[in-house]
Structure 1
Amino acid sequence: LAGKGAATDQAAQAARCALALRKLRPHVRMALATGRGAIAGHSPVGEVIDRAVQILARSRSERDVPGAPVDNSIHVDETTAGLLDQRFDIGGDAAGLVLRGERSIVEAGRCLLGVPTVCVGRERELALLDGVLAEAVTDRVAHAVLVTGQPGAGKSRLVTELLQRHTNVDVWIGCGDPSSAGSAFYILAQMMRQVCGMLDGERPAVSAHKLRARVARHVSVADRVRVGEFLGELLGCEAAIPSELLRAARQDTAMLNDLMRKAFEDFVVAECKAHPVIVVLEDLQWGDLGTIKFMTSALRRANQLPLVVIGLARPEVKQLFPSVWAYHHTTHVQVGDLAPRACEKLIRTVLGDVEPTLVERMIELAGGNAFHLEELIRAVAAGKRDALPSTVLAMVQARLDALDPDARRTLRAASVFGRLFWVGGVNALSGRDGAWLEGLVEDELIEPRGESRFPGESEFRFRHAIVRDAAYSLLTEADRSLGHRLAGHWLETHGERDAMTLAEHYAAGDDSTNAARWYVRAAKQALAANDFEGTLLRVERGLACSGNPEISGELYAAELEAHEWRNDLVAGERAGDHALRLLRVRSPAWHDAVGMMASVLTSLGRHDRVIELADQLEAAGLAVECERSILAWVRVTVRLMYLSEYAIADRLLEPLAAVARDPLTGHNVRGAVLEAIAHRRQIDDDLETALEMNAAAVEDYLAAGNTRDAQYQAIAVALVHSELGAFAAAELQLRALARTPDAPMILAIANLNLGLVLHYRGNHGEAEAVQREAIEAFARAGDQRLEAASHGYLCRTLLATRRIDEALAEGLLAERAASGQLDIALSSAALAFALLAAGRPVEA
């Protein structure tokens, strides 16, 4: 088929043609490929035809087994799969993707008592949202919108009305749920899986094919593999053969977070360059910190592109997530009470001619709440005008009480899953066949969803969270426990990917063993999202369930890492002690814990305990086949050097040097080892060798695709240049690194050291400016150690310009912020210089 117009439209036309042909020729094998071709005579030729033939040949060789039924699948290439939207059902296996059919997308038109209703009383809010969207598209500028309102105020209806007016934009939707509140990346991952057409529970190879296909639609060829791999990590679609960069990131929480964030940003930017995008995040009060941080970061990256992110939430979202959205193009929309005139219009639209006194009473009882008003209209239509409940929850419970007992039982079972539920899941909990669901749709209590997260499962949603809450409140404690246990099992067997969702279901179902197992994964997901408070919460809940030493050890290791990032070193030491006692020696998790403990104990000045860790590593031996073992040796070795324990560090460096020389060693691991060796040479004042080793480490990190550590190591190269007196070369390198706005910590550390180099070169004015920038950046990041170093450097710069009082103030700030013996020594030295300059030698 040759056509004109958008590639997505052409792919959809071709897919429908293939499906129609299959009905006519059900036993014919077919392939569907998209690309450029040429017409030679009357026949198309070219690469795309060759590719389609190759797909058929490959499927024939891999699928044809003697005696097996004829393969009548429609095989599709990844380009076509990436161009087809969620309406098309794409399946397959490791051999490739197949087109199975076109879904019937159910548009849940808003009806009340079967009467289509208009959106009343929201003209001002709609005009504001229309203006935001128009500006984003016309002026190509990103916007964030936060729509807040009480439950039932009409937030979702407002945005639905907006989207119906603008059909020429790509819409991505993610929804929060009370059963997954706070779960790391839950809303973001759910949204992105939907964008990519991925289903929970489908074969991993199929999900991987779909992800690659969707990424290839607009992401540049050079970035596709990296973006696909790290989006897959974010979405729970892990690479079958991870790259060296991914393996390294899995051992470094901050690095993994950076690379997943960058992959998401790159995907969003590529999509927005191709067409306007609206992101809708519903029920954000049940959201998570990771989703909010990644979306905020994407808004910054796409600030000159047509991107609109709309968050819908109850007012408490501002207390739960004070930084939503921390972005300069943010519009706040408060959905308040409906005006009496709007209420009356809705009443008369549905009920027709109603006496004015009843209308006034209904308006008064509703109090401007749209959902409450709808429930009052239903009650009046049912002949209950003389007994109208005064609260919306009482109103909904009265409706549920009037249902048939089997229908009510179905609704109670559905409520265990949360706002969304599935026919199979409800059947598993209720022991019935879901026959009552159709009636509950007619009663406008639930609504079908056009797409389902699980293959072959019809998905439904409570029409409003208040309905779900009312149904859930009808469950006894025993029923809730059994229901959550069964729900957890059903979700796990059907491929649920969110660890916190499963952990909470099992915990509520008194299944401690499974709950603890999933809390470990949930804690690791929270670490990857840099949600350290969330990590500690999951650890606490997991430990309350766990009876398995290894699982408890993994939970304590997650707690150790969270405390390390929070700079709560004493709590980190306590958690680390538990982890090392429970984890199996020489296991990957044990090596990770040893490396983290070395960092914490060094900062606390526990020399003897760091030496104990070194002894434990030597007793266990270096497992050269295990990257996590090598990296643990590197971390302990570097900390020993910080503590001036050079003899012990040299013992550990000896086998590490052999690892660096081994040609089979991965680039990322070699980079880390070379970094440690370079540090040792620098201590010995062998600066030329240190420079050579640091430069080699940069090359290895870059070869592994690890640009973050390459940039950090480039700062080390600049510092050696500075020690050699090559200040011009150091300044040139640091200025280049200070131009990395997408890596704020690298920019800040580059500025910290650039200020010192400029100080040495006598450029004190600019040195002060970049040092103050660094102080602000470290304060925002909560990094007290580097903030202390920045105050110490600024103290010296101010002394050089004889601003002694200001230098004293900076020296005092440096000393107060310092933690760890080395940092305290450096800060005290800076303060001592200031005291000497102030004529106070005894204090100095």
Structure 2
Amino acid sequence: MERKLATVLFADLVSSTEFVAGQDPEVTRRRVTTFFDGVSRCIETHGGTVEKFAGDAVMAAFGIPLAHEDDAERAVRAGLGILDLVNELGLQARVGIEAGEVVVDETDSTFATGEAVNVAARLQQAAAPGEILVGDAAFRLTQGYIEVEDAGPLELRGFRNPIAAYRALAALDGQPALPKISAPFVGRESELDLLENTLARTIRDRRPQVFTVYGEPGVGKSRLIREFLAGVEGTTILSGRALPYGEGVTYWPLAEMVKSAAGITDDDPMETAKQKLIECCGDEAIAELLGLASGVMEAVEGERGQPEIAWAAREFADELADVQPLIMVFEDIHWAEEPLLELIDHLAQWVRERALLILCLARPELLDVRPGWGGGRVRSTAIELEPLGRADSEALAGALLEEHQVSEHVRSRLLDKAEGNPLFVEETVRMLLEEGADGDDRIPDSLQAMIGARIDRLPAGAKIVLQRGSVIGRTFWAGAIDHLSPEYDSAELEDMLDDLLLRDFLTREERSTISGESAYRFKHVLIREVAYSGLSKSGRAEYHTRFAEWLRERADKELLEIRAYHLDQACALYAELDGHAPEELARTAAKALEAAGKRALSLESNQSARKLLLRAAELEPTLQRRFLAARAASQLGDLPVVRDEVSVIAEEAAAAGARDLQSRALTALSETVASLDGELGRAAELADEALEVVEADDHEGRFSALDRRARVARWMGRLAEAEEFEQQALEAAQAAGRKDYEARAALQLAGIHIGRMEEKKAEPLIDRALELAEHSGSIVARASAAQSKGTLLRVRGDYEQAEGWLTKALDLYREAASVSEIAWTSRQLGIVAWETGNAARAEKLLRESIRLLAPMRERGTLCESQRYLAQLLLQQGRLDEAETYALAARETVSPEDIVSRATTRVALAQVRAAQGREEEAETLFKEAIEIVGGAEHCRILLDVLPPYAEFLRALDREADARALEARLAERVPTAA
């Protein structure tokens, strides 16, 4: 079967029963035969095919078996001809016409099925005698060619919603059709000058520049950049394209650049590729991270993520740009996932003192998802390529046509329809040159119809190759086509590919990502899309499956995400056709999707990971896949979903005896219950359950459960308990050989000592974590250690150094795009600013912290930022605002959070005191003291007792104030 864009016509005689009544049978037969012969002739003259006669009705299709770019116009003209014919016979007819996708059986290429057939039939029934009703799709395809009037939405039998309809009145003056080519570069001189000036400024200033070119498909974005790059010398040029599938190929453009720079092909053995990458980068840590992003190295779950890859990409670009100016071209970034857009931002912001020009090509749709793209950045330029002006379009068409003779009318219609889109001009001229300007063919009104007509006119073999190549993607390989086409030998396929090159359907890629394979590329993505749309869904499913088989043999691990995509597409198509995918195919697809999902998870491409893993679990459910999908959701901050999913997984894992998964699910549930619900007691119980079931040799699972248990205990103010669990977590991290886990444990232990005011014990732990983080190359680890160092210095009163370390941590977290940690560090910097007398900066930082945390529903951190802001505003005399934030903090705090239950009460007590509500204030102060009465967290007393003493002195209760200070000195000697 084949799918085609076609236009369907139904015509029916009006009152045929009355016409036959009382007539001589021979006369009736002769007149009816004359009618049918005339209708057939009219349809065939306009390039249509009569599908069937039924009684006194006729059905015809235009675009079957051979498509024309103006099939809809031909159908309406045929309909008008039919009305003229029946008028001459003294009869009347009604006609309905609609265009759309239909399916044609290969054994009977004239029999079409599809919604367009049903709409055309119903329009014919709704038409008045002597009337032609045209559906919406056919109307859009014939605008400017047929005079119509609105017939209003019609209620048609069998359709739930009204159908738009138009009454065809007459054909407008037409034109002949046109003869072949390579388009010159015209009409973009100012844009080219701007690019050249931007590059010159980049080289002169040695500062990165981002240059974004927006434009609709076919408007000439890629051609502009090609022309610009052709004139560039002494510069390294790397390019990569974001893929339209967008699943599991987050860093594809970066991968293309890295592989190109390192000379890596996709079928290089892993060790060979790794060695090439190390030699290119000159640094094993950078090579490892770029290897993960490009699929050159195996992904290790949880090992590296988006921040580290961004850092490695920056170092990679920095090294190349140090040698000579570097141009990085990111094409089609409207298809890019968020991590890639963040990476581009990261490069622009963090590469320093280098001549780096980042070129981004995008459709305007990018601004739908990134309205501020390029905004707020000093060294950023964006232009939108508008359609060519009339003069430039004429110059382009004239150059393409060269000595071919076409009438001025044809040339004018061509330019009118192209509307300045260079690809439209080029493809339309090519069609005309191929078909000849003899008047049989019209200039296409739709690019899809035009390309579909060109494809239909290919030799059968070339068309098959084009369609099968379209299954693979924008770029495909000759070897893959060979695998998909066993009915042809290699020599025949090579001839067909050469034919497609000559006809400008394809271009040859200068470099193939799979060694030993010739690579071809569709000249425009729309050509690929139209070719793909012509395949039946069963054919698509078959070729997706077979291409995945070929990938498994040629470049399985390197192109894992692509293979998973094709297997998934095959399953989806079979499910649509048959209700389910073949069992073995579904199993194979699920395994590939799981592997791709794990890789995406390790790279912190969490949206992709979530989609891939959910799909894997849908095709073949397993606890492992469901848990990994829940982990991805956790990283995305979808805590209610995570809680629901991991609670079920924990139960099912227990029933199945899967202790490793049960332990991990319980740990994840503990984290969710603590963060989302604030139920710290329940969170502790869940972490304890995880420890009970974790396998003895599962050191990573044991670390996660112990670390979670320690964090809950610390949150509850039980520092001795937290220290015991975290010490065990440290041992588990060392047993697992995970330096990142070891650093986390060391920092948690340091935090416990700071809470006890044991700074001397905290300092060596933080220094050890700094050392581990530096060796690991992890941005997040370095940021966490710097943050802890800054916090330690702040509590010691060394504000200058504290600000330096905290600023370093904030910069690193921003590189990592770690929102919760950006918020936490902003709060710490706000406290430093407040304590050094810079209230305006303190307020700005605290408000930023709250803004970031509010959507995340992370109660512990948010309530502290709210209460600090309340106290700052109170100090400035802004009482109403202070009350708002103090109440918000008390509402946010978890009922089992010892520290924040006390601090938020103190903040509200201070507000109530300022409002003259002393009785309420003292009640709140006493509640705070009761909460922290026997707490191990000594430092919290500094936030509770001094404010209460100050309150008592304001009431002339000096003795009570001294008693509080004595109590503080007893518990915290350093405060005396």
Could you tell me how far apart the structure 2 residues matched to 1:586 and 1:544 are?
A: 20
Q: Which residue does 1:23 correspond to in 2?
A: none
Could you tell me how far apart the structure 1 residues matched to 2:831 and 2:238 are?
A: 47
Does structure 2 retain, via aligned residues, the 8 Å contact 1:448–1:460? yes
Could you tell me how far apart the structure 1 residues matched to 2:628 and 2:445 are?
A: 51
Trace 1:521-532 onto structure 2 (pairs within 5 A).
Answer: 521-528=595-602, 530-532=604-606
2:387 equivalent among 299, 313, 337: 337
Helix, strand or coil at the partner of 1:738: helix
Q: Which residue does 2:508 correspond to in 1?
A: 448
Could you tell me how far apart the structure 1 residues matched to 2:904 and 2:559 are?
A: 45
Query: Taking structure 1 as reference, are residues 780 and 297 closer, same or farther at Cα in structure 2, changes over 3 Å only?
Result: farther
2:642 equivalent among 552, 572, 576: 572
Trace 1:507-522 onto structure 2 (pairs within 5 A).
Answer: 507-510=568-571, 511-522=585-596
Q: Which residue does 1:712 correspond to in 2?
A: 784
Could you tell me how far apart the structure 2 residues matched to 1:378 and 1:323 are?
A: 39
Q: Which residue does 2:805 correspond to in 1?
A: 736
Does structure 1 retain, via aligned residues, the 8 Å contact 2:783–2:812? no
1:491-528 C-alpha deviation (Å, 9 max, x unpaired): 23322535443222111111322332233344444445
Q: Which residue does 2:200 correspond to in 1?
A: 134
Could you tell me how far apart the structure 1 residues matched to 2:642 and 2:857 are?
A: 16
TM-superposed deviation, 1:449: 0.5
Helix, strand or coil at the partner of 1:171: strand
Helix, strand or coil at the partner of 2:240: strand
TM-superposed deviation, 1:173: 0.8
1:468 equivalent among 528, 536, 541: 528
TM-superposed deviation, 1:168: 2.5
Does structure 1 retain, via aligned residues, the 8 Å contact 2:277–2:291? yes
Aligned AA (2:339):
G
Aligned AA (1:443):
R
Does structure 1 retain, via aligned residues, the 8 Å contact 2:664–2:690? no
Trace 1:250-261 onto structure 2 (pairs within 5 A).
Answer: 250-251=301-302, 256-261=305-310
Q: Which residue does 1:176 correspond to in 2?
A: 242
Could you tell me how far apart the structure 2 residues matched to 1:727 and 1:508 are?
A: 60
Query: Taking structure 1 as reference, are residues 715 and 131 closer, same or farther at Cα in structure 2, changes over 3 Å only?
Result: closer
Helix, strand or coil at the partner of 2:420: coil
1:366 equivalent among 418, 423, 428: 418
1:581-638 C-alpha deviation (Å, 9 max, x unpaired): 4558777666554443332121222345423333333323574673443243222322
Q: Which residue does 1:403 correspond to in 2?
A: 458
RMSD: 3.3
1:17-53 C-alpha deviation (Å, 9 max, x unpaired): xxxxxxxxxxxxxxxxxxxxxxxxxxxxxxxxxxxxx
Q: Which residue does 2:908 correspond to in 1?
A: 831
Structure 1, unaligned stretches of length 5 or more?
1-111, 217-223, 240-245
Could you tell me how far apart the structure 2 residues matched to 1:676 and 1:139 are?
A: 44
Query: Taking structure 1 as reference, are residues 472 and 131 closer, same or farther at Cα in structure 2, changes over 3 Å only?
Result: same
Q: Which residue does 1:602 correspond to in 2?
A: 674
1:491 equivalent among 544, 551, 557: 551
Q: Which residue does 1:394 correspond to in 2?
A: 449
Does structure 1 retain, via aligned residues, the 8 Å contact 2:706–2:728? no
1:368-402 C-alpha deviation (Å, 9 max, x unpaired): 12112112212221244322222111111111111
Q: Which residue does 2:474 correspond to in 1?
A: 419
Aligned AA (1:318):
L
Q: In the alignment, does 2:690 pair up with 1:617?
A: yes
Does structure 2 retain, via aligned residues, the 8 Å contact 1:415–1:469? yes
321-330 vs 467-476, which deviates more? 321-330
Could you tell me how far apart the structure 1 residues matched to 2:449 and 2:253 are?
A: 30
Query: Taking structure 1 as reference, are residues 274 and 650 closer, same or farther at Cα in structure 2, changes over 3 Å only?
Result: closer
Helix, strand or coil at the partner of 1:145: strand
Does structure 2 retain, via aligned residues, the 8 Å contact 1:768–1:798? no
Q: In the alignment, does 2:845 pair up with 1:773?
A: yes
Does structure 2 retain, via aligned residues, the 8 Å contact 1:230–1:260? yes
1:756 equivalent among 824, 831, 835: 831
1:541 equivalent among 592, 598, 615: 615
Query: Taking structure 1 as reference, are residues 197 and 166 closer, same or farther at Cα in structure 2, changes over 3 Å only?
Result: same
TM-superposed deviation, 1:718: 4.9
Structure 2, unaligned stretches of length 5 or more?
1-177, 572-584, 925-976
Does structure 1 retain, via aligned residues, the 8 Å contact 2:610–2:630? no
Could you tell me how far apart the structure 2 residues matched to 1:590 and 1:164 are?
A: 59
TM-score by length of 1: 0.76
1:458-516 C-alpha deviation (Å, 9 max, x unpaired): 11000111110111011001101111111222223322535443222111111322332
Q: Which residue does 2:160 correspond to in 1?
A: none
Query: Taking structure 1 as reference, are residues 362 and 815 closer, same or farther at Cα in structure 2, changes over 3 Å only?
Result: farther
Helix, strand or coil at the partner of 1:509: helix
TM-superposed deviation, 1:169: 1.6
1:245-278 C-alpha deviation (Å, 9 max, x unpaired): x97xx536xx632222111111112222221111
Q: In the alignment, does 2:212 pair up with 1:162?
A: no
Aligned AA (2:434):
A
Does structure 1 retain, via aligned residues, the 8 Å contact 2:308–2:777? no
Aligned AA (1:738):
T
Helix, strand or coil at the partner of 2:305: helix
Query: Taking structure 1 as reference, are residues 122 and 477 closer, same or farther at Cα in structure 2, changes over 3 Å only?
Result: same
Does structure 1 retain, via aligned residues, the 8 Å contact 2:806–2:828? no
Could you tell me how far apart the structure 2 residues matched to 1:514 and 1:529 are?
A: 23
Aligned AA (1:727):
G
Could you tell me how far apart the structure 1 residues matched to 2:345 and 2:767 are?
A: 35
Could you tell me how far apart the structure 1 residues matched to 2:452 and 2:507 are?
A: 18
Q: In the alignment, does 2:424 pair up with 1:355?
A: no
Helix, strand or coil at the partner of 2:211: strand
Could you tell me how far apart the structure 1 residues matched to 2:668 and 2:728 are?
A: 21
Aligned AA (1:551):
R
Q: In the alignment, does 2:626 pair up with 1:626?
A: no
Aligned AA (1:811):
A
Query: Taking structure 1 as reference, are residues 514 and 622 closer, same or farther at Cα in structure 2, changes over 3 Å only?
Result: closer
Does structure 2 retain, via aligned residues, the 8 Å contact 1:153–1:335? yes
Does structure 2 retain, via aligned residues, the 8 Å contact 1:573–1:600? yes
Q: Which residue does 1:274 correspond to in 2?
A: 323
Q: In the alignment, does 2:287 pair up with 1:238?
A: no
1:321-348 C-alpha deviation (Å, 9 max, x unpaired): 4353353322222122122222222222
Aligned AA (1:228):
A
Could you tell me how far apart the structure 1 residues matched to 2:726 and 2:381 are?
A: 56
Query: Taking structure 1 as reference, are residues 308 and 676 closer, same or farther at Cα in structure 2, changes over 3 Å only?
Result: closer
Does structure 1 retain, via aligned residues, the 8 Å contact 2:780–2:812? no
Query: Taking structure 1 as reference, are residues 747 and 731 closer, same or farther at Cα in structure 2, changes over 3 Å only?
Result: farther
**Residue identity (%):** 23
Does structure 1 retain, via aligned residues, the 8 Å contact 2:702–2:732? no
Point out the structure with max Rg over C-alpha.
2
434-443 vs 112-121, which deviates more? 112-121
Does structure 1 retain, via aligned residues, the 8 Å contact 2:747–2:766? yes
Helix, strand or coil at the partner of 1:331: strand
Q: Which residue does 1:11 correspond to in 2?
A: none
Query: Taking structure 1 as reference, are residues 610 and 771 closer, same or farther at Cα in structure 2, changes over 3 Å only?
Result: same
TM-superposed deviation, 1:299: 0.8
2:272 equivalent among 190, 206, 211: 206
Query: Taking structure 1 as reference, are residues 750 and 402 closer, same or farther at Cα in structure 2, changes over 3 Å only?
Result: closer
162-171 vs 824-833, which deviates more? 824-833
1:659-710 C-alpha deviation (Å, 9 max, x unpaired): 58x7996654443333344445555665554455444444444455556435
Could you tell me how far apart the structure 1 residues matched to 2:771 and 2:199 are?
A: 45
Q: Which residue does 1:41 correspond to in 2?
A: none
Q: In the alignment, does 2:852 pair up with 1:797?
A: no
Query: Taking structure 1 as reference, are residues 181 and 311 closer, same or farther at Cα in structure 2, changes over 3 Å only?
Result: farther
Helix, strand or coil at the partner of 1:178: coil
TM-score by length of 2: 0.66
TM-superposed deviation, 1:181: 5.8
